[in-house]
Structure 1
Amino acid sequence: MPTLPSEEPRGAHQERAMAESFGEDPERYDRTRPRYPEALIEAVVAASPGPDVLDVGCGTGIASRQLQAAGCRVLGVEPDARMAALARRLGTPAEVATFEAWEPDGRTFDAVTAAQAWHWVDPVAGAAKAARVLRSGGLLALFWNALEFPAGLREGVADACARALPDAPFDVRAVMARPAVETYGAGLDRTADAIVEAGGFGVPRRWRFDWECAYGRDELLDQLPTFGVFTRLPADRMERVLEDVGALVDAAGGSVSVRYATLAVVAERTGGA
C-alpha cells in the first residue's frame, strides 16, 4: 500500500510530519513490515564494488540487517531517533539525521541504498549527496515493496480508506484502488529523472522482483497502522479501518495472499572518489 500522494505540487520529502511519524511504534514497524526478497539483496551485493553500504532512511534496520547477513558493512542514516535507536539495538549502527543534512565527514561507500524510504528524500539533492559519498563505480540502489491486495479486497480497502479520510485533498478511493505498481511506477520515473538531473551517474536501470506472502487476519491488521496513510490517523478512525478490513479478511476465509512487486531504481557512480 503506497503512501497516499497529495495533488498539490509537493514531493513526499516535504511532508515531514508524515515522514517522521513511523517512530510512534518502531517495534510494531519492525515486527510487521515485510522483508525484501533475497534475490534483490543478492543483486545489490553483486553489483556493488565492495562491502561498505550506507543505508539511507534505514528505519529500524530491516534492509540493513539483510545486507549485513549477506556480508556487507552497513551504516544507517535515519531522521527519526526512535527508529534509529531500535536499529542500533538490533545491530545496525545508525546516525540520526535527514540524508540531506547528514555529514559524511570524509567517509565514502561502495553502495548507497534506500529501502522504502527514498521518497522522503529530496530526489535531486539526495542523488547529488549519494554521488558525493560513493566511490567510483559505486551503486545507488533505491527500492520499494509495492503491495497488491487481491482485486476484491483492494476495492474494499480503498472504500475503508476513503471513509477514514473524508477530508483528504485528493480522491483517496481512486488512488487506493489503482494497482500499486502503477502508483510506484510513476514515482520511480521521477526518481530516475532526478538521478539524471543530479549528474554523476550512468543511465538508471530498473529491477523488479515478484513474490507473494500469505497473511492471517491478525497479521495483516497488525501491519496496517504502520502504513503512511494511517500513521497519524486518530485512534477511533484507525479502529474503524481495522474493523472494516478485518471483516473483509474474515469473508475471504480468514487469510489473504498478498502479491508484492519489489521495484528498484539503480545507477552506477561514474568518476567519484
Structure 2
Amino acid sequence: MYDQVRPGYPEALFDDVVSLSEITPDGRILEIGCGTGQATVPFARRGYRILCIELGKNLATVAQKNLAAYPQVEVRNIAFEDWVTQENAFDLVISATAFHWLDPSIAYKKTALALRYEGAIALFWNEHVYSDASNGFFEEVQELYQTLAPQLVKDDEPPLREQEVPNKTSEIEQTGLFGEVVYRSYRWDATYNSASYLNLLNTYSGHLNLDHITKARFFHAIAELINTKFNGQITKGYLTTLYVAHVL
C-alpha cells in the first residue's frame, strides 16, 4: 500500500542529482532511509552501486523485493545512527524525505565521513503545497479534522504556498562540512480519487493510530466530501526540493 500511493519524485530531479553531484558512472551511492526504494530505483536503473540504510523492517523488506532486479544494490535494516560508518567509501550520499528524522549533529558528520574526496550530498523532500487545482478541498477538509479527529489538526494544516516552504540551505552550509549548496525545486500535482486518497492518508502514522471507530467515521466523511462536492477526485500540490553540496 505504502509503495503504491506515496508520491514519487520527478525524473528531472534524478538527472539533476547526477549532474550536480558529478558522480561518475561507476560511482557508489549511500542512501539514508530508502523506504520502499522509490528514490533508489531511478539510480539503480542508471547502474550505480548503492548501499541503502533503512530503519523500518517492513519497509526494508519491500525495498529488497523492489530492488531484487539490481544486484549492485544492497538494503540493510539498521538505524543510520547505529550503522558503522564506511569512511571515504561513497561518491554520493542521498536521502529522500528522510533526513529530517535524524539528529543533524550526528547525521551531517557521519555523511561527511562516508564521502570520498569531492563527494556530494543530495537531500530532497516532497512538500505539500497549495494548488489552484485543489479547488479549496484542503481548506474545507479542515472542518472534518477539527470535528472528527482534532488530535490530527496539527498533522494536516492548510498547505503552504511555494514561497513559504522552509529552505534548508543554511542548515547544510552552517555545518562547515560542505561547500556551497545548489538548490532546485520542482512543482507538480497528483490527482486522487476518494479511495486512493484514503489509502494515502493510511500511510501517515497519525492517521494509522486512530482508533477503529474514529478512523471509520473520519475516513467515511472525507470520502463523502470528495465524492459529493469534488466530483469524486481531488488534486494535491507538491513541491519537491533538492539540495546538493560537495564535501569540504
Q: TM-score, normalized by length of structure 2?
A: 0.85
Quick check: 1:259 aligned with 2:237? yes
Q: 1:47 aligns with which of 20, 25, 46?
A: 20
The count of aligned residue pairs is 236
Partner residue, 2:92: 111
Q: 1:143 aligns with which of 104, 116, 124?
A: 124
Q: How far is 1:159 from its partner?
A: 2.8
Moved more, 116-125 or 194-203: 194-203
Q: Output the CA distance in 1 between the equivalents of 2:31 and 2:121.
A: 10
Q: Output the CA distance in 2 between the equivalents of 1:182 and 1:119.
A: 20
Quick check: 1:97 aligned with 2:78? yes
Does the aligned pair in 1 maintain the 2:122–2:245 contact within 8 Å?
yes
Q: Could you say if the C-alpha distance between residues 204 and 232 of structure 1 is closer, same or farther in structure 2, counting changes exceeding 3 Å?
A: farther
Letter in 1 for 2:64: R
Q: Could you say if the C-alpha distance between residues 197 and 53 of structure 1 is closer, same or farther in structure 2, counting changes exceeding 3 Å?
A: same
Q: How far is 1:165 from its partner?
A: 4.2
Q: Could you say if the C-alpha distance between residues 164 and 124 of structure 1 is closer, same or farther in structure 2, counting changes exceeding 3 Å?
A: farther
Q: 1:163 aligns with which of 134, 147, 151?
A: 147
Does the aligned pair in 1 maintain the 2:88–2:117 contact within 8 Å?
no
Partner residue, 1:60: 36
Quick check: 1:172 aligned with 2:154? yes
Q: Output the CA distance in 2 between the equivalents of 1:164 and 1:94.
A: 40
Q: Output the CA distance in 2 between the equivalents of 1:76 and 1:226.
A: 21
Q: How far is 1:107 from its partner?
A: 6.2
Does the aligned pair in 2 maintain the 1:125–1:198 contact within 8 Å?
no
Quick check: 1:268 aligned with 2:246? yes
Moved more, 211-220 or 38-47: 211-220
Q: How far is 1:180 from its partner?
A: 6.3
Quick check: 1:84 aligned with 2:84? no
- Structure 1 unaligned residues grouped into runs of 5+: 1-27
Q: Output the CA distance in 1 between the equivalents of 2:46 and 2:146.
A: 41
Partner residue, 2:221: 244
Does the aligned pair in 2 maintain the 1:162–1:172 contact within 8 Å?
no
Quick check: 1:207 aligned with 2:184? yes
- Please tell me whether Structure 1 or Structure 2 has the larger radius of gyration of its CA atoms: 2
Partner residue, 2:48: 72
Quick check: 1:220 aligned with 2:197? yes
SS at match of 2:190: strand
Q: Could you say if the C-alpha distance between residues 182 and 229 of structure 1 is closer, same or farther in structure 2, counting changes exceeding 3 Å?
A: farther
Matches within 5 A, 1:10-25: none
Q: Output the CA distance in 2 between the equivalents of 1:143 and 1:46.
A: 15
Q: Output the CA distance in 2 between the equivalents of 1:225 and 1:134.
A: 36
Identity fraction in percent: 29
Q: Output the CA distance in 1 between the equivalents of 2:33 and 2:195.
A: 28
SS at match of 1:176: coil
SS at match of 1:194: helix
Q: Deviations over 1:181-209 (max 9, x none)?
A: 466x23x43xx343234322012232101
Q: 2:175 aligns with which of 189, 198, 206?
A: 198
Q: TM-score, normalized by length of structure 1?
A: 0.78
Q: How far is 1:135 from its partner?
A: 1.4
Q: 1:152 aligns with which of 133, 136, 140?
A: 136
Q: Output the CA distance in 1 between the equivalents of 2:60 and 2:148.
A: 30
Quick check: 1:38 aligned with 2:11? yes
Does the aligned pair in 2 maintain the 1:124–1:195 contact within 8 Å?
no
Letter in 2 for 1:38: E
Across the aligned residues of Structure 1 and Structure 2, the Cα RMSD in angstroms comes to 2.3
- Structure 2 unaligned residues grouped into runs of 5+: 68-72
Q: Output the CA distance in 2 between the equivalents of 1:160 and 1:56.
A: 35
